[in-house]
Amino acid sequence: MLSLVFACASASGAPSFTERLARHDLDVHDFQSTGRGLRTLRSRARGEVLLAVPDADVVLAERVLEGDDGLRAAAEHAAQSGRHLTEDSLLACFIANARTNHPASSMLPAVQPSVVSMEAEAALLPRCYASAAEESRAHAISQHATCTEALRAVGAGEPPLDAFLRAWAHVRARSVQFREGQDFGLAPRSELLSAERGLRKALLPYFDMINHQSGAGTKLVREGGAWQLVAEGGYGAGEQVFVSYGAL
């Protein structure tokens, strides 16, 4: 998770994960009904910013292409060969290869609880779920093969399969998804990447700590140099902050 990066940030002199949340009067709390989530420590009014992530800390596929010459060359090669990289696979390669000093480059914990990356655990699933898990794993492996082929062709380093699968699981489970053209003031999707049902993804620190609730009473905006979670209704001190994943 991106949040795990900031939990260890104090070792380098940067504010810790807890300190960063405290700046927003938030903390991590174990709620009886939902488990781990984010709690507001004071009352909030409608329109108040609950959480803000600096734009520079947000990972987007287009930014990876701008900042990583090897991955851009690989994406160009894949596009020319008619096998475009996906947003998910590009982000997973970026994280697994740890090519930059961006916080997301070290977001992988030792164990990622995902049926995509944990083959032994997947074998314990009921048959109906095991089949779906195997299909997901096979798809991720095929995406790794496509990335590896493109990276080798341009002489760039390639991520090991296990690291790629952990990164892939993080991107699939922890990214914020939004529709192409949604008003975030972003540049258009790169033509080097395959379009995925008009959807785009961003990796935002902290947001993977927030639980889903239909009609959550929050909205995501991008302004003032930050991605902000804004209250659409009031929150009392001690209440859990939610986001909506959309129709599930």
Q: Note the pLDDT tens digit of each residue in 156-193.
A: 989 999 889 988 988 888 888 887 767 688 888 899 99
- Between CA 162 and CA 143 the distance in angstroms is 13
Q: Position 89: which residue type?
A: S
The reported pLDDT for the residue numbered 100 is: 47
3-state secondary structure (DSSP) of residue 81:
coil
Instruction: Kindly tell me if the per-residue pLDDT of 105 is higher than 50.
Output: no
> Over the chain, what is the mean pLDDT?
82
Considering the entire predicted model, what is its pTM? Answer: 0.79
Going by pLDDT thresholds of 50, 70 and 90, the confidence category of residue 60 is very high
Closest CA to 210 of 95, 51, 88, 23: 51
Asked if 41 and 117 touch (Cβ cutoff 8 Å), the reply is: no
Average pLDDT of 21-39? Answer: 93
The reported pLDDT for the residue numbered 193 is: 92
Going by pLDDT thresholds of 50, 70 and 90, the confidence category of residue 57 is confident
- Between CA 210 and CA 36 the distance in angstroms is 8
- R_g of the chain computed on alpha carbons: 19
Please count the other Cβ atoms lying within 10 Å of the Cβ belonging to residue 248.
Answer: 6
The reported pLDDT for the residue numbered 103 is: 52
Going by pLDDT thresholds of 50, 70 and 90, the confidence category of residue 119 is low
What DSSP letter does each residue of 117-176 carry, written as one string?
T-HHHHTTS-HHHHHHHHHHHHHHHHHHHHHHHHHHHTT-----HHHHHHHHHHHHHH-E
Q: Residue 177: beta bridge partners?
A: 201
- Between CA 171 and CA 96 the distance in angstroms is 11
Q: Note the pLDDT tens digit of each residue in 64-89.
A: 999 899 999 999 999 999 999 999 99
- Between CA 86 and CA 91 the distance in angstroms is 9
- For the chain, helix (H) and strand (E) counts, in that order, are 8, 9
Name which residue leads in pLDDT, 118 or 30: 30
